[in-house]
Amino acid sequence: MGVLIKNGTIVTALDQYVGDVLCRDGKITGIGRDLTASGDDEVIDASGQYVFPGGIDPHVHMELPFMGTVSADDFETGTAAGVAGGTTSIIDFVIPGRGDDYDEALRWWHEKADKAVADYAFHMAITWWGDDTAKVMRRCVQEEGINSFKTFMAYRGAIGVDDHELIQVMKTSKELGSLVTVHAEHGDMVVELQNSLFAAGHTEPKYHPMSRPAPVEGEATARAAMLARMTGQPLYVVHVTCEPSIDAIAKARAQGQTVYGETCPQYLLLDDSVYDKPDFEGAAYVMSPPIRPLGHQDKLWAALKAGVLQTVATDHCPFNQAKQKEMGKDDFRLIPNGAAGIEHRLSLMYTYGVLENRITLNEFVDLTSTRAAKIFGLYPRKGSITPGADADLVVFDPEATGTISAATHHHKVDRNIFEGFAVKGLASHVVCNGRVQYKNGKLDVEKGAGRYLRRSAS
């Protein structure tokens, strides 16, 4: 049984045209006009709708052990929520604790991911440097198809690395032809500010962003770019939130460095007034880096348009308010960092990006799918509508409307940081691996159907 999408406006990172897409055996087998279905093909009439390549979210954390608890979405519920919003592939992070065995952590992540309903890949986080770490990185690239390594410049003592360790990761990655990604915040300064604020009696969620101000992120981004330049290593800066980081990336790129930047819808669409919500509701927005004051959002949109930033991910890492965020009720430093977002990325970027003329429709596809596929070694299998590509497709109704709410989302979490946001433009059908898994508001996913994606060099 195949799927034939008829009469849709096919939109890629470069093109836009009306046509049909035929899918058989999990692959795109034909693109054209007046294609014919066989007797058992499912036919989707996409007249008046767009057909996009399936979304790729290159930054998610499903069932991540973190800050004394575990993120609320597992690989089944998280990937299902993604499918409901048009995201058909994710890249999660294998994150061992400092000193933990890398190979054991990778085995554990594979076990957890077996229940994914959509395709997935891994980044490997290097959280400490030892005698065998270079060998681990080599095995990841050559045997596991993991071509990207995450480093944290914050969270010292837990998963963060110092500059010496970061340099070793970059040197080794350079030899392997892989990519280093960084969470850029000055870890020591964060701890100093956190402790100073708490000692002064400041315990509420609103002090979280005060402990991680924009200069702390900007300095770390500039330092990571400098280290990458000295080692000759390409760099990918995750969840960029502020003007100082944008400036550091733009400067590095202007000097000829290969530096990529990623941002997220929460940084584009929210401002730090969310932390002032009463009754501890501000805790729902506690994430790192934090949401910034007004002004940074326009800079981020401009950076996407100018090509300084290349991707829009979500950093999907939800924690329930009850029993999880509440762990920091009397100490903002103990609030688990993270929020949900994978289901709403495409609709938010279409509504507040395309419809408000901040990005074009082709740029929308590039930012939410194609560039991530290219940067992380999945293209053209993913992120494209071409014969032979995986049949991961989104039929997107530009006239459909909705209101985002925790009462109706598919995330397994009790809060939604976009609560009340109106959206225009929603997925009507989502095809994963050649099967319709979302149709007019109803999920039809299969636990364990997701495949592990081995990636090539970008």
Give residue 456's pLDDT: 86
| Residue 104, both tokens | 């054991």
Cα–Cα dist 96/449, whole Å = 26
What's the whole-number mean pLDDT along residues 92-98?
Answer: 97
Q: Select 54-375's CATH number: 3.90.1150.10, 3.30.160.270, 3.30.479.30, 3.20.20.140.
A: 3.20.20.140
3-state secondary structure of 181: strand
Q: 21-25, 92-96, 442-446, 453-457 — which is least confidently predicted?
A: 453-457
3-52+383-400+421-443 placed in CATH 3.40.50.12280? no
The secondary structure element, H or E, covering residue 125 is strand 119-125
What residues have CB less than 8 Å from 397, skipping those under 6 apart?
A: 48, 49, 425, 426, 427, 428
Q: Where are the alpha helices (DSSP H) in 53-184?
A: 75-85, 102-113, 133-142, 163-176
Give residue 152's pLDDT: 98
Cα of 408 vs its chain's centroid, Å: 22
Sequence ranges of the chain with CATH classification 2.30.40.10 = 3-52+383-400+421-443
Give residue 156's pLDDT: 85
Strands 50-53 and 393-403: antiparallel
Strands 27-32 and 69-70: unpaired
Give residue 157's pLDDT: 86
Cα–Cα dist 205/334, whole Å = 10
Give residue 133's pLDDT: 98
**Phi, psi (deg, nearest 5) at residue 283:** -65, -25
Instruction: Identify the band that residue 457 occupies on the pLDDT scale cut at 50, 70 and 90.
Output: confident
- Terminal C-alpha separation, the chain: 33
Residue pair 169/160 in contact (Cβ under 8 Å)? The answer is no
Sole residue written with tokens 């979490």: 413
Instruction: Identify the band that residue 39 occupies on the pLDDT scale cut at 50, 70 and 90.
Output: confident
Q: Count the residues in the chain.
A: 458
Q: Where are the alpha helices (DSSP H) in 318-424?
A: 345-349, 361-365, 371-375
pLDDT digits (tens, 9 = 90+) for 410-435: 999 999 999 999 999 999 999 999 99
Give residue 458's pLDDT: 64
pLDDT digits (tens, 9 = 90+) for 222-252: 999 999 999 999 999 999 999 999 999 999 9
Torsion of Cα atoms, 340 then 302 then 398 then 267, to 10°: 10
Residue pair 453/121 in contact (Cβ under 8 Å)? The answer is yes
Strands 119-125 and 87-94: parallel
Give residue 11's pLDDT: 98
What's the whole-number mean pLDDT along residues 23-29?
Answer: 98
- In DSSP notation, 15-66 reads -EEEEEEEEETTEEEEEESS----TT-EEEE-TTSEEEEPEEEEEE-TT-EE
pLDDT digits (tens, 9 = 90+) for 247-279: 999 999 999 999 999 999 999 999 999 999 999
Cα diameter, the chain: 72
Mean residue pLDDT of the chain comes to 97
3-state secondary structure of 114: coil
Cα–Cα dist 94/91, whole Å = 10
What residues have CB less than 8 Å from 111, skipping those under 6 apart?
A: none
Cα–Cα dist 75/62, whole Å = 5
Cα–Cα dist 389/383, whole Å = 8
